[in-house]
Structure 1
Amino acid sequence: MALHPKVAQFIASLPPAPPGPLNPDAMRAADESHVAPLEQRMPVHAVHDQTVPTTAGDVPVRVYKPTAAESHPVLVYFHGGAFFLGSLNTHDHVARALANATQCAVVSVGYRLAPEHAFPAGLNDSFAVVEWIEKTGRDPASGIGWDGQTLAVAGDSSGGNFAAAVAAMALDAGLNCITHQVLYYPSLDLDFDVERYESLTSNAVGNGLETAALKPFNAFYIDSGADPADPRVSPIKRNTLSGLPPALIVTAQCDPLRDEGELYGHKLKQAGVSATVHRYESAAHGFVQYFSWLPEFEGVFAETANFIRNTKR
């Protein structure tokens, strides 16, 4: 099946990338310029920003409450952006959709970005927020109102990398609070040898994210000290996956990263971990962020809700 015509039309309308090296500040400003005004965003019962005091330092988060209830299941969300882009604002609409669909309190994490902050700063921020919720989130004064039962981690692209890595870090630390991991077209292997996965070749060009862009986009993270051989950087390289929480892995047919996500799901199943892998046909990398309004893709949030509600660790 070919790339969805609406997606193809959008990609064709994009201007060519400017010559020269990537400019993080300019790219971040461009992303922020496309954030919808508050009055145009999906309504959620309550949204507030707060700073979480963690073992990694103070971490900004944005909390989305779907109802007025005192406690909720919690979903901790890590935005994508190749480890150097993205913010609480650029992915605000994704967090809102997740809160309404899952009826979880969504905690979106404003982790530190490369290259200004060397590895593992952003990952440590992400893990520390989960650790803090496990210790403090049930206290009404925390601002979270965790029900003490369901605590999912979720992320798209590089945020999916963080979600998988945080789930593994929690397991290694004896922190058994994470009940689900939701990975949207995750970047799980930062070794970009094009021979490693067929999708790196078959989806190399013409679908938005291109294989040739993977190295320069991720260079800010890798050059800050993130070793692709380290399973904290490439979660698919972890020696044993047994004991990890159940996973929903959403992939896109026309994504260069498709095969590594699907292989990770296969490896989880081999390790005895419940894993659901769903490939969205005609979809490209980034569709949850940019194209979830299309009828063919809008079910991704309901699928996430069903997974969290009906899958037990």
Structure 2
Amino acid sequence: MPVVLDPDAAAVYRAFLEAGRPAYETLTAPEARADYARARFATNPEPPDLPHVTELAIPAPQGAIPARLYAPKEPRRHDGVSPALVFFHGGGWVIGDLDSHDVVCRQLAVEGALIVISVDYRLAPEHKFPAAADDAIAATQWIAANARELGIDAACLSIGGDSAGGNLAAVVALAARDGDGPALAGQVLIYPAVDFAMTHGSHSEPETSVLLTHSVIRWFRDHYLNGAADIHDWRASPARAASLIGLPPAYVLTAGADPLRDEGAEYAERLRQAGVSVATRHYPGQFHGFFTMGKLLPQANIAVREIGSWLKGLG
């Protein structure tokens, strides 16, 4: 479909091109991580001040998983517990960390008036599939089991993430439904990667190869997966799950200039057909990754506010 970037998105894209940053596929994973970390200072808005930001170490079979808990100034409840969102950062399972998504997690805590716990799952290629999925599932289970100690209402626990983090949130929702628990109130899928087959139309449109280019996606895939067989595993490609019935309510965000656009939209429709309550929001003039760029892109801050409002509606 024709894609025309919004003026502010087009300006940001031009600035990235003029900066001459190397393409990730020309870098090693550590080099790409460092480059991504530097870029956030130019794109992230000012971090909201919060009364409590606490570092956590979540016990897991393969070693402690770092995490960070954000408590809002004005929680919506005053009975000692709060709704919560477990958040998984984007970055193609290769880059990103607690700091890369620190600001957006603070924003979500404020806008959703809830606790946010950001999970720093293991990255590829040092830890290939299913390491990130295993960490996401284990962290969510531990948070639910220790909800009272964390100040969380376990009955109001949601999950979410952007891009690769949206993939992990979708995987956790499926695993929870299928017996690994816990019960989840909702799932926030921000331009999620849900099908490693990468055969949807938006994966081949020239207009969608903006920042997250088609070649970069393949670079991420090859770092994360062990081989072609992993494509068909629902823990890598949640869209490959046999059924989506019984999953928690979902908020699915897509962007027009995004290779993942069509698979995200199709996943939302499949959720609806499975009887899941789904809210969708499409930003036709934005590119993949815009959600964390609130310093430069006003629509990123609108997206955070709308997701916060949706989370409030879960109870």
**Normalized against structure 1, the TM-score is what?**
0.90
Structure 1 residue 228 displacement after superposition:
0.9
- Mean CA deviation greater in 74-83 or 38-47: 38-47
Higher helix proportion (structure 1 or 2): 2
Maintained 8 Å contact 1:57/1:125: no
Match of 2:90 among 80, 89, 92: 80
Per-residue CA distance 1:49-72 (angstroms, 9 max, x = gap) = 121123453111011000376321
CA distance in 2, matches of 1:301, 1:19: 27
Maintained 8 Å contact 2:25/2:216: no
Maintained 8 Å contact 1:203/1:210: no
CA distance in 1, matches of 2:168, 2:228: 16
CA distance in 2, matches of 1:232, 1:171: 13
Q: For residues 264 and 185 of structure 1, do their structure 2 counterparts lie closer, same or farther at Cα, with a shift above 3 Å needed?
A: same
- Residue in structure 1 matched with residue 4 of structure 2 by the alignment: 2
Match of 2:168 among 127, 146, 162: 162
**1:270 and 2:276 equivalent?**
no
- Residue in structure 2 matched with residue 149 of structure 1 by the alignment: 155
Q: For residues 282 and 161 of structure 1, do their structure 2 counterparts lie closer, same or farther at Cα, with a shift above 3 Å needed?
A: same
Q: For residues 47 and 21 of structure 1, do their structure 2 counterparts lie closer, same or farther at Cα, with a shift above 3 Å needed?
A: same
Q: Percent identity?
A: 35
Structure 1 residue 225 displacement after superposition:
8.5
Over the aligned positions, Cα root-mean-square deviation in angstroms equals 2.4
Match of 1:230 among 233, 239, 244: 233
In structure 1, the residue corresponding to 2:287 is in which secondary structure? coil
Q: For residues 220 and 105 of structure 1, do their structure 2 counterparts lie closer, same or farther at Cα, with a shift above 3 Å needed?
A: same
Maintained 8 Å contact 1:8/1:207: no
Maintained 8 Å contact 1:164/1:235: yes
In structure 1, the residue corresponding to 2:257 is in which secondary structure? coil
CA distance in 2, matches of 1:90, 1:310: 27
**Normalized against structure 2, the TM-score is what?**
0.89
- Residue in structure 1 matched with residue 52 of structure 2 by the alignment: 46
Alignment of 1:183-222 (within 5 A): 183-192=189-198, 196-204=199-207, 207-222=210-225
Structure 1 residue 117 displacement after superposition:
1.1
Q: Which amino acid aligns with 1:273?
A: V
Flag the structure with more relative contact order, 1 or 2, with Cα contacts below 8 A and sequence separation at least 6.
2
Per-residue CA distance 1:171-194 (angstroms, 9 max, x = gap) = 1125242110000000111112xx
Q: Which amino acid aligns with 1:231?
A: W
- Residue in structure 2 matched with residue 302 of structure 1 by the alignment: 305
CA distance in 2, matches of 1:19, 1:305: 32
Q: Which amino acid aligns with 1:7?
A: A
Structure 1 residue 33 displacement after superposition:
2.5
Structure 1 residue 35 displacement after superposition:
4.5
Q: Which amino acid aligns with 1:23?
A: T
Q: Which amino acid aligns with 1:122?
A: A
- Residue in structure 1 matched with residue 148 of structure 2 by the alignment: 138
Maintained 8 Å contact 1:65/1:104: yes
Q: For residues 46 and 225 of structure 1, do their structure 2 counterparts lie closer, same or farther at Cα, with a shift above 3 Å needed?
A: farther
Q: For residues 17 and 104 of structure 1, do their structure 2 counterparts lie closer, same or farther at Cα, with a shift above 3 Å needed?
A: same
In structure 1, the residue corresponding to 2:297 is in which secondary structure? coil
Maintained 8 Å contact 2:45/2:295: no
Q: For residues 292 and 240 of structure 1, do their structure 2 counterparts lie closer, same or farther at Cα, with a shift above 3 Å needed?
A: farther
Gaps of 5+ in 2: none
Number of paired residues?
A: 305
In structure 1, the residue corresponding to 2:56 is in which secondary structure? strand
**1:92 and 2:102 equivalent?**
yes
Q: Which amino acid aligns with 2:101?
A: H
- Residue in structure 1 matched with residue 14 of structure 2 by the alignment: 12
CA distance in 1, matches of 2:49, 2:228: 40
In structure 2, the residue corresponding to 1:253 is in which secondary structure? strand
Structure 1 residue 292 displacement after superposition:
7.0
Q: For residues 127 and 119 of structure 1, do their structure 2 counterparts lie closer, same or farther at Cα, with a shift above 3 Å needed?
A: same
Match of 2:136 among 126, 135, 145: 126
Per-residue CA distance 1:83-134 (angstroms, 9 max, x = gap) = 0100001111111111111011100001100111122112111111110112
Maintained 8 Å contact 2:155/2:184: no
Q: Which amino acid aligns with 2:189?
A: L
- Residue in structure 1 matched with residue 252 of structure 2 by the alignment: 249
CA distance in 1, matches of 2:159, 2:174: 11
- Mean CA deviation greater in 38-47 or 146-155: 38-47
Q: For residues 100 and 26 of structure 1, do their structure 2 counterparts lie closer, same or farther at Cα, with a shift above 3 Å needed?
A: same
- Residue in structure 2 matched with residue 115 of structure 1 by the alignment: 125
- Mean CA deviation greater in 233-242 or 302-311: 302-311
CA distance in 2, matches of 1:150, 1:205: 36
